[in-house]
Amino acid sequence: MKKTLLSLLFCSASTLAMTQSIDEIINAQEVERIEKTLSADDMQGRKVYTPGLEKAADFIAAEFKNIGLKTLNGLTTYRQEFLMLQPKLISVAATLDGQVLDPKNVIVVTTEAEFSITQASGYELAFIPPGENIFEVAYNLVSARKNYLVRVDTSYTKRFGALNNFKRNLMQNSKTVVFILSPTAPTNYAITAKHDISNAKKLANVTAMIPGKKKPNEIVIFSGHYDHLGIGKAVKSDSIYNGANDDAAGTTAVIM
């Protein structure tokens, strides 16, 4: 299952001197309290962009505060907020070596409202040849945070359009990946695209830190995602996907 970028972060720069034994700190009663709270029906399955997720974030932040953890440097709360964009295509056009490419054979994965490149723009060229896992290769390219012009072999014609799914949730960044369905690699090209990016949505990591005493510049990060699937198709009259194991359990482990 594909996870969102939402995550719970906890930073520790040194081993903390504990006055309590580890068995007193990590105990079944506290584990049960935290995990049952996060996976309770009133969390509504903790789907992104829902009140249930906000409630879970508030609970985690309250736990961090009760523990006495510090906020990350530069933050005044335990929330590390960021925007997720879902660009909606307005128009796209591409000319390859003087030939106009069908717009359906061009996909521009970008967070820019106005986009335009030519062969002089310095984009790195890539190719997805026949026989590959097109979505795995495309994912790696999009995740690389580089500017790419990616030629996709025409053997993927039926699956090419599904690459638009990479625009469903994007973090703001200055890099763009352009996929073109073409039998040959272009020498000269001009590609433009316009997107509506006005529907940005806010999410947040919940973060906390124990500063190191001897090595304050060294950081160890423990993380787990606290979102889940929300409310969906009912199974035995229960439509809430509580997510106890995915990943209230992991979030509980980090808090403990």
> 222 near 254, Cβ under 8 Å?
yes
Q: What is the pTM of this model?
A: 0.74
Consecutive 10-residue averages of pLDDT for the chain (256 residues): 40 48 85 97 95 97 95 93 93 97 97 96 97 97 96 97 94 93 96 94 93 86 93 94 95 93
What is the identity of the amino acid at 7? Answer: S
Cis peptide before 196 (omega within 30 of 0): no
Task: Using only the alpha carbons of the chain, give its radius of gyration.
Answer: 23
> 128 near 137, Cβ under 8 Å?
yes
pLDDT value for 173: 85
How far apart, in whole angstroms, are the C-alpha atoms of residue 122 and residue 149?
A: 10
pLDDT value for 144: 94
pLDDT value for 60: 97
What is the identity of the amino acid at 194? Answer: K
DSSP classification of residue 136: H
pLDDT value for 14: 40
